[in-house]
Amino acid sequence: MKEFTETLYDACGQTFRIDKLYFEHKTDHQHLMIFHNSFLGRVMTLDGVVQTTERDEFIYHEMMAHVPLLAHGHACRVLIIGGGDGGMLREVLKHPLVEQATMVEIDQQVIEMAKQFLPNHSSGAFDDARADIVIADGMDFVRGSSERFDVIISDSTDPIGPGEVLFSSDFYAYSSKLLNPGGVMVAQNGVPFFQLDEVRTTRQKMGAQFSDQTFYSAAVPTYYGGIMTFAWGSDTPALRRHDLNVIIERYRRAHLTTRYYTPQIHQASFVLPKYIEDALATEPG
Amino acid sequence: MNQRHISYGIEPEALAVYQALVQEHGSPLLVISRHKLVGQYRALTRQLPGVSLYYAIKALPNPEVIRILAEQGCHFDVASAGEIELLQPQLISGRKTIHTHPIKKDRDIRAALRGGSTTFVVDNIDELKKLRAYRHRVGVLLRVSFRSASAAVDLSRKFGCSPDQVEDIVLQSRELGVHIRGLSFHVGSQSLDPQAHVDAIRLCGGLINQINQGSVNPMNLLDIGGGFPVDYACENPDMDAYFTAIRAALYELPEDIDLIAEPGRFLVAPAVTGISTITGKARRGDYQWYYLDDGIYGSYSGQLFDHVQYPLQITSNDLAREPSILSGPTCDSIDIIAEDILLPEMREGDLVVGHMMGAYTAATATRFNSLDCAKIILQD
């Protein structure tokens, strides 16, 4: 029997049965696998770490797309950094107000591979006329772009690895300059139960670029370790102080079909457990 | 340093094999025997039952060796990002590794974590602090040093804290929130006396017991290092007696302590044969000089760095012998493999075979004089 065991943590971890291996790609610095698991459906792993599974990707993608877009309320132009599997693009393009969704992926091959082996993730989003696919380094793009966006979503890999630069002060600084007034940036920020310092570090680095910086959370079962956090950066604190009825109305007007996201979850997701609040009250160490 | 062993004459069948290999691949060569490599691995698993073996890649960082050992169920001891990269093409999970370099840059730690290698070795508080940011991801072993008077290579001078520092470092690690999972030691290499290993195992067992008393987060791992001797001097030492003593010491440890070892030399040294060719000769004074196409800057680098005299075998068993010198191919005068040895007359094109040439040979070979390193090939 073939198995995949995650290599994130020394003391514990999770193991998946590989029922069928669809794709395996080994470059000098990356090892990518897509396999089928009878419960989770297709599972994509990179360098020993689960990236996404068909069974629970909806939680991650809905929460990273709908929370900032509905908090913004009239986002027309959205920038996605990373997100080569197309799941984030799919959720963003569900919003009728979105006129353009620019997705900056560093590797064309990831997109091709995802289209072929994870077609349910993008679910046709790559063919949407509003999708603007750019093959570039995310850092180079935010440094060089003169476009402006209402929402920026950083759908990166783990900070230890190829996505490291997407957790840097420079990345947050350049991104903040691409936001229209009233805009918001959100970024994948790991599982704080194991990686508490990442929350502290992001607070320090992102907080230096945005007057309003916080986190919201959701539990994605195959991101082992309980809730994950999403970093939130904006110069408009009002974006996360809406009355629930405002979000309910926006959700209704957008005609979204969701499986995890609800306006109530939206509001509640900004409430953080005490251990994270306590960590944010102390310096990174 | 061991006494040089020279054997005269090569069985016709063996010679035919060597000649065919040189015909096909050129000279010089390092020939890995799969059969002998697997034999060494199995011998060590028999001698050390219950001990997980982590091959120290540095001894011979060769993809074929790694593949064969992985097939046997071996794990890997890595000490650099480059060594981790050697495992990745073979799709060996980082969970099967331990990162043993006690001194690291942050970049090294991150590269190891990215490679899935989560168990690290430290020997002081400053190094422990470097792991603090990753404390929920990593497992940490504390390296203890025990000086060995009889070992050919003393590994306890450069790394390791002294046994009396252990408790203090463990206490400080608790304050830092970094859990020390266990202890590791290296008593040095090539000592035929198991006493250093036995003493170190007992002392570490005592330290672990002492620290675990009243600890809510007990240590559970002892890494007994490597350094298990191989027979460069062709003296057939009693390895059973050597390992029996080590097993007895391990048996005294509490049952719930996991054991690992990091053999390098023991696994690969006997599995590799060096084949070089006489490219020229000269009579200088009282000595007959023979110039080979491999030498101290190549596969025989271990004679300098590793203090080993490899057993040599020459083709002729003629009893008429004269004082001779075997020289390597570079222009440097230190490039001499063996001097003042008695050899029968040899001809240009004759082969010279070096045995037990798997460990710290190719690993430390240079390309001085822009000479190619010996080609490494796999046999049987």
The predicted model gives B338-362 an average pLDDT of 97
Percent of chain B with pLDDT over 70: 97
Give the pLDDT confidence of A182-199 residue by residue, as tens digits.
Answer: 999 999 999 999 999 899
Nearest CA in chain A to B116: A7
- Residue A128 annotated to the active site: no
Question: Number of Cβ pairs closer than 8 Å across A and B?
Answer: 56
- Say whether pLDDT at A283 is over 80: no
Same fold for the pair A3-52 and A57-280:
no
Please answer yes or no on whether A197 and B110 come within 8 Å at the CB atom.
Answer: no
Q: How confident is the model at residue B152 (pLDDT cuts 50, 70, 90)?
A: low
Quick check: A7 and B95 CB within 8 A? yes
Question: Is the predicted pLDDT of residue A3 greater than 80, yes or no?
Answer: yes
pLDDT at residue B88 greater than cutoff 90 = no
User: Which of B85, B88, B120 to mutate: most A Cβ within 10 Å?
Assistant: B88
Mean of pLDDT over chain B: 94
For residues A149 and A183, is the Cβ–Cβ distance under 8 A?
yes
Catalytic hit among A56, A85, A155, A158: A155
Q: How confident is the model at residue B157 (pLDDT cuts 50, 70, 90)?
A: confident
| CA–CA min distance B167, chain A (Å) | 22
Residues from A contacting B (CB-CB < 8 Å) are: 5, 7-11, 13, 24, 26, 28-29, 31, 47-48, 160-161, 164, 193-197, 284-285
B61-263: CATH topology is: TIM Barrel (3.20.20)
- pLDDT at position B154 is 64
The pLDDT confidence band at residue A28, using thresholds 50, 70 and 90, is: low
| SS3 assignment, position A223 | coil
Q: Helices B195-212 & B166-176, crossing angle to 10 degrees?
A: 40
Any chain A CB within 8 A of the CB of B122? no
For A33-50, how does the pLDDT look when each residue is reduced to its tens digit (9 = 90+)?
A: 999 999 999 999 998 999
How does the average pLDDT of chain A come out, rounded? 95
Q: Encoding tokens for residue B177?
A: 């929130």
Beta bridge partners of B121: B141
> Residues spanned by CATH 2.40.37.10 within chain B?
6-31+269-379
Region of poorest pLDDT, from A108-112, A233-237, B76-80: A108-112
> How is domain B6-31+269-379 classified at the architecture level of CATH?
Beta Barrel (2.40)
Nearest to A76 by CA among A179, A176, A154, A166: A179
- Domain span(s) for CATH 3.20.20.10 in chain B: 61-263
Question: The domain A57-280 belongs to what CATH superfamily?
Answer: Vaccinia Virus protein VP39 (3.40.50.150)
* pLDDT exceeds cutoff 90 at A56: yes
8 Å CB contact between B329 and B291: yes
Q: Residue A22 — very low, low, confident or very high, per pLDDT cuts 50/70/90?
A: very high
Give the fold, CATH level 3, of A3-52.
Spermidine Synthase; Chain: A, domain 2 (2.30.140)
Q: Residue A169 pLDDT > 70, yes or no?
A: yes
A231 near A202, Cβ under 8 Å?
A: yes
DSSP tag of B163: G
pLDDT greater at residue B91 or residue A8: A8
What's the pLDDT tens digit per position in B30-76? 999 999 999 999 999 999 999 999 999 999 999 999 999 999 999 99
Cβ–Cβ below 8 Å for B137 and A28: no
Which two structure tokens, joined as six digits, stand for B319? 């009893």
- What would the pLDDT profile of B232-254 be if each residue is shown by its tens digit? 999 999 999 999 999 999 999 99
Indicate yes or no: CB of A31 within 8 angstroms of CB of B91.
Answer: yes
Give strand ranges (E) for B38-105: 51-56, 75-78, 97-99
User: Cβ–Cβ contacts within 10 Å for residue B333, how many?
Assistant: 7
Among residues A275, A264, A183, the alpha carbon closest in space to that of A229 is found at A275
* pLDDT of res. A142: 97
CB within 8 Å: A48 and B88: no
Measure CB to CB from residue A31 to each of B88, B117, B179 and give the nearest one.
Answer: B88
Q: Is the pLDDT of residue B191 over 80?
A: yes
